[in-house]
């Protein structure tokens, strides 16, 4: 996305992981100097080259004040958040303080998608526009077909199809985006622990004889059915591929056009060197047998 004449400044709300850094670098490549709002206790990137403000995760009032002062008109929410804010750490301005009871209920009982949608609503009430990381950094988006030298074999294709059905059910419950299948059987579902921790369980299951040690398996990551694609797109990167290799998996399948491949060059080189596939898939086509 090339910056348009007359646009205001871009703000990047940064949680953990590499995605916020990729987005900030892409924005700079587009001719922008983004304001990075690093979430205290979550952001772990090196922000020394960017103007940065540290804020607590529940400090909505502080965020809006900083955005106004910097002339921000667009916001990207990126990176991981391990802990939801405690209700007594949410700071709202007078115009939105009446929403506190509803926010507390959402934090206590809502899934990740509901929490993120609520955050978008609060930001856009200020006249700001929330955009997706993929709009700033389209080069991160997974493309259809093999991404690298290796392709899934027949068994991996069967595992991908099984995983698609499981991932969609998991997404309908607003729990996670990742599934691992081995030998046509779903063996791991992603929860709050995240993708890498989910994959790490596979070795333990193999050692205990709970799953096959001769069949490799795959990781599949899809958007949740009701997901707002401006936030929390499924992603994989070099770390994911490293864990996949350690767990004996054959490769990783990402929803083409709706998932992100981080560290693309390094991830593809690693996969090529170690016999892993990375593939962008169309879940609808695969479920229809196309």
The domain limits of the chain are: 9-138, 141-287
The pTM of the full predicted model, rounded to 2 decimals, is: 0.84
Angstrom distance (rounded) from CA 195 to CA 184: 20
Instruction: Give the pLDDT band (50/70/90) at residue 202.
Output: very high
Q: Note whether 144 and 280 are within 8 A (CB).
A: yes
Spatial separation of the C-alpha atoms in residues 142 and 199, rounded to whole Å: 20
Name which of 1-10, 36-45, 63-72 the model is least confident about: 1-10
For 205-209, what is the mean pLDDT? 90
Place 39 in a pLDDT band, splitting at 50, 70 and 90. confident
Please determine, for residue 50, whether its predicted confidence score (pLDDT) is greater than 80: yes
Q: 218-221 and 185-189: which strand pairing? A: unpaired
Element spanning 2, H or E: none
196 versus 4: which is more confidently predicted?
Answer: 196
Distance CA 148, CA 101 (A): 49
Is residue 150 pLDDT above 80, yes or no? yes
Residue 97 has pLDDT above 50, yes or no: no
The more confident residue out of 108 and 32 is 32
* Token pair 């609503």 in the structure block, residue: 121
C-alpha span between 141 and 163 (Å, rounded): 20
- Judge whether residue 107 has pLDDT over 90: no
Burial class for 222, CB neighbours closer than 10 Å (0-12, 13-18, 19+): buried
Please tell me the least confidently modeled range out of 53-57, 114-118, 279-283.
114-118
Looking at residue 61, its pLDDT comes to: 79
**For 30-36, what is the mean pLDDT?**
95
**Distance in angstroms (rounded) separating the CA atoms of residues 174 and 176:** 6
Which carries the bigger pLDDT value, residue 99 or residue 173? 173
Average pLDDT, the chain: 85
Q: What whole-number distance in Å separates Cα of residue 47 and Cα of residue 61?
A: 23
Domain 9-138 has CATH 3.30.1490.20: no
Q: Give the max Cα distance, the chain.
A: 61
- pLDDT for 110 beyond 80: no
Domain 141-287 adopts which CATH fold? Cytidine Deaminase; domain 2 (3.40.140)
Which pLDDT score, from 0 to 100, does residue 226 have? 82
Report residue 216's pLDDT band, with 50, 70 and 90 as the boundaries. very high
Q: What is the mean pLDDT of residues 277-288?
A: 92
Q: Which of 32-41, 215-224, 227-236 has the highest mean pLDDT?
A: 215-224
């Amino acid at each position: 996305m090339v910056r348009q004449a007359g646009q205001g400044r871009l703000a990047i709300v940064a949680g953990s992981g590499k995605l916020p850094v990729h987005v900030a670098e892409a924005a700079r490549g587009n001719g922008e100097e983004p304001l990075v709002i690093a979430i205290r206790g979550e952001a772990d990137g090196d922000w020394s080259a960017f103007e940065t403000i540290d804020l607590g995760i529940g400090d909505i009032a502080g965020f809006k004040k900083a955005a106004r002062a910097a002339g921000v008109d667009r916001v990207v929410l990126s990176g991981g958040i391990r802990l939801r804010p405690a209700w007594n750490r949410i700071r709202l301005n007078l115009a939105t303080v009446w929403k506190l009871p509803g926010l507390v209920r959402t934090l206590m009982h809502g899934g990740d998608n509901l929490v993120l949608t609520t955050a978008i609503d609060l930001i856009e009430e200020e006249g700001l526009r929330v955009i997706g990381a993929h709009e700033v950094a389209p080069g991160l988006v997974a493309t259809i077909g093999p991404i690298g030298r290796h392709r899934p074999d027949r068994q991996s294709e069967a595992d991908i199809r099984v995983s698609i059905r499981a991932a969609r059910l998991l997404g309908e419950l607003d729990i996670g985006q990742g599934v691992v299948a081995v030998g046509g059987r779903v063996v791991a579902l992603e929860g709050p622990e995240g993708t890498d921790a989910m994959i790490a369980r596979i070795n333990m299951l193999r050692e205990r004889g709970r799953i096959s040690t001769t069949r490799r398996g795959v990781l599949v990551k899809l958007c949740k059915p009701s997901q707002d694609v401006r936030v929390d797109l499924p992603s994989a990167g070099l770390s994911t591929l490293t864990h996949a290799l350690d767990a004996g998996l054959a490769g990783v399948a990402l929803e083409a056009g709706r998932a992100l491949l981080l560290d693309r060059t390094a991830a593809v080189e690693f996969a090529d060197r170690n016999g892993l596939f990375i593939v962008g898939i169309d879940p609808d086509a695969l479920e229809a047998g196309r």
